[in-house]
Structure 1
Amino acid sequence: MALRYQEVKLEIKKLILSSKEGSRIPSRNFLSRKYQVARNTIDKAITELEQEGYLNSVKGSGTYVTGRFSRNVNIGVILPSLMGDVYPQFISGIEDYATANHINVVLLSSESIPEKQKRNVYQMIEMGADGCIIIPIINSEMSFETLDLLKKKKIPFVLCNRSIDGLNAPFVGTNNHYGAYMATKHLIEGGCRRLSYLSQRKYSTSISRYNGFKTALLDCQEEVEEGPVLLGNYEGDALKEKLQVIFSGEKIPDGVHCFDDMMATVLYSVLQEKGLVPGKDVKVVGYNDSSICNILPVPLSSVSSRSKEMGKEAIRMMMEALEGGVKEEAAKWIIPELKIRESSRTEKI
């Protein structure tokens, strides 16, 4: 019964959001028949919506739509993690916009666990969130089943960073292909002629960046060679062993683009073991422009995803979706930015 009540309340809220300010909503008896629920269920829903600032009842006249955003809108944000460098910046962009526009933000972390992501979605449904901004976990199949619940409840949501196969929803992401293309082109322009791409994980984002790496090699007018590529699922010692093999031969890469900055830190440790210096013997570019870039022995060049801008764009799109002004296929791509440091800087003569 409680779940049905929440569904009815959400349906009335959608009706309100699609109506003009000052317009009168249908009578309570009509709504009772429309949603096939008892009159007291409608009364309870309308009373709560009045308390939340959506409606105003005038005795003997009817119930009217108030300024739709005269009270705080509640937006849920579900992320794989609240830690690291990318996610806090993403959250910061959302909160800057939310604070300026009187929007309540509820943050939840799935910790990259499918079942926890599902519980987070149920929590958003139960709290009556107006909409959700979600960076889904890597498991696309599990995410589809979970996020489809929001569609069934008609709660608008915006996907960020990675899309879900078969699930149409507004999307905000960074152009990973172009980011990797830009990084690889920079390495080539810096004199690198045997280049490698290294990723400890294989999923859509790492593949997109590898494709950007390949495109830069193909577009190059100079003679360049693709060196060993690491694109799999490796952890700990297994990852380090793979890197040691790549840098054990006589013909090692002179330029490396790493999937992310953490991959670059593992590479740094292997290069140190081999007596090689990043930026001198091997030029290196990471991805995400995390805080570790400036504290490594050789400051790391890295591609910034501009996560803060992504967060701001996501909540703007979310608010447009609440107004009915965003199509499901809408997509916004944030152009990444290359931050050049000592690990790939070309010495001036």
Structure 2
Amino acid sequence: MERRLYDHVKELLIEELAGSPPGQRLPSRAALAERFGVNRTTVERAVSELIGEGLLYARDKSGTYTTGRLPAARHAEGGRRWAVVIPDIQHDTYPGIIRGIQDTAGGRGIDVILSNTDNSVRRQTACLERFLEGGTDGIILIPAVYEGTDLRPLMRILERRVPLVLCNREVPGIQAPVVKSDNFLGGKLAVRHLVSTGRRRIAYVSPPIYQTSAERYQGYLAALAENGLEQDPSLVSFACAPGEPENALRAVTRLLQRRADGVFCFNDAAACVVYDAAARLGRKVGRELAVVGYDNTPLCESFRPKLTTVDFRTYEVGRRAAELICAMTEGDESARRRSVVVEPSLIVRESTPG
């Protein structure tokens, strides 16, 4: 009988929550018990389960509040949905991550809504707020690059226990699962391979430094050290900024003039700049100059010679992020503290002759 009572109270509360704005304070347990004609123990059990399901959240000595999340089966669209917030929907690495997420979600009947931030923290905050207020069963965020992240919406997401997974990089101050490729290992794989082809003056070409580029740079330094090669600061450039092709080309041209015989590029797009600079100087990639990219995008096959690269394994990153959201939705509390590091692999092509 008690089981039927607290289930019934849960259903009544869910009906009320469906029309309540986020952050609305619930009446006291005594008031709810009187309203529903049950004892306070029954109300407490019903409310506790709703907190565990992410529909309510409690504040110490303040009360219990609505999260704004509709029950999974009661979205206006008639099914469950996840929000995926990314910096640049046209960036070569993100389609693979999205595909991994969508394949996993689609197999469970879950819709995926994409939102693009253009690497703007302001737009990222607006997207997160919109999804939080509108109701979602999970959020996967690839944080904006270069700007400090606004922690407020992320803190509210965690407070309301909406499943949240970060992809590609952490956000300092936010305790949420992270799924990322091992950028440090990827950097080591690239430079070890260049060393194995006989290269000794190995450069690193990157956009302005941020978490991912710094991790790949640390792998570059580690591989040089383990092979007894001295790091030359003049062979490092962080000038390949997106949207500044002329500045990037000038910087890389200067770098190649310093007798670099191998180049590790932060990504395959940076390798385009290296190829252009090498052509300007009359240096042959795949002969006197070896080049390794990163991300294994479709660009690699279009290069002449075809580009050796590190495979980020984007699909696997997306798939593992989606699996963490599923685990949290199904009540696995350990998933809220679990992070995943995906191991990259080297794809050898024509730009690094042995």
Common fold by TM > 0.5: yes
1:143 and 1:164 in contact (8 A); partners too: no
Amino acid at match of 1:84: H
Distance 1:13 1:164, change over 3 A: farther
**Number of equivalent positions:** 305
Q: Does 1:80 align with 2:87?
A: yes
Unaligned runs of 5+ in 1: 20-24, 26-33, 38-44, 54-70
Provide TM-score, normalisation by structure 2.
0.78
Deviations 1:110-163 (A, max 9, x none): 111112111111121122101101101014533423422322333220001011
Deviations 1:175-208 (A, max 9, x none): 0000010010000011111111111221111111
Q: How far apart, in 1, do the equivalents of 2:18 and 2:107 lie?
A: 34
Distance 1:305 1:246, change over 3 A: same
Deviations 1:222-245 (A, max 9, x none): x56646111357432222221221
| Aligned twin of 1:56 | none
Q: How far apart, in 2, do the equivalents of 1:14 and 1:278 lie?
A: 64
Q: How far apart, in 2, do the equivalents of 1:320 and 1:263 lie?
A: 37
Distance 1:9 1:246, change over 3 A: same
Amino acid at match of 1:5: P
Q: Does 1:338 align with 2:354?
A: no
| Aligned twin of 1:93 | 100
| Aligned twin of 2:49 | 15
Q: How far apart, in 1, do the equivalents of 2:18 and 2:74 lie?
A: 19
1:177 and 1:210 in contact (8 A); partners too: yes
Q: Which moved more, 1:169-178 or 1:289-298?
A: 289-298
| Aligned twin of 2:163 | 156
1:238 to 242, 247, 251: 247
1:5 to 3, 21, 25: 21
| Aligned twin of 1:325 | 333
1:142 is paired with a residue whose SS is coil
Unaligned runs of 5+ in 2: 1-16, 27-45, 56-62
| Aligned twin of 1:279 | 286
C-alpha displacement at 1:172, in angstroms? Answer: 0.5
Distance 1:102 1:8, change over 3 A: farther
C-alpha displacement at 1:79, in angstroms? Answer: 0.7
Q: How far apart, in 1, do the equivalents of 2:236 and 2:130 lie?
A: 42
Distance 1:332 1:204, change over 3 A: same
Amino acid at match of 2:237: L
2:143 and 2:149 in contact (8 A); partners too: no
Provide TM-score, normalisation by structure 1.
0.79
Q: How far apart, in 2, do the equivalents of 1:9 and 1:164 lie?
A: 29
1:74 and 1:104 in contact (8 A); partners too: yes
Q: How far apart, in 1, do the equivalents of 2:65 and 2:171 lie?
A: 34
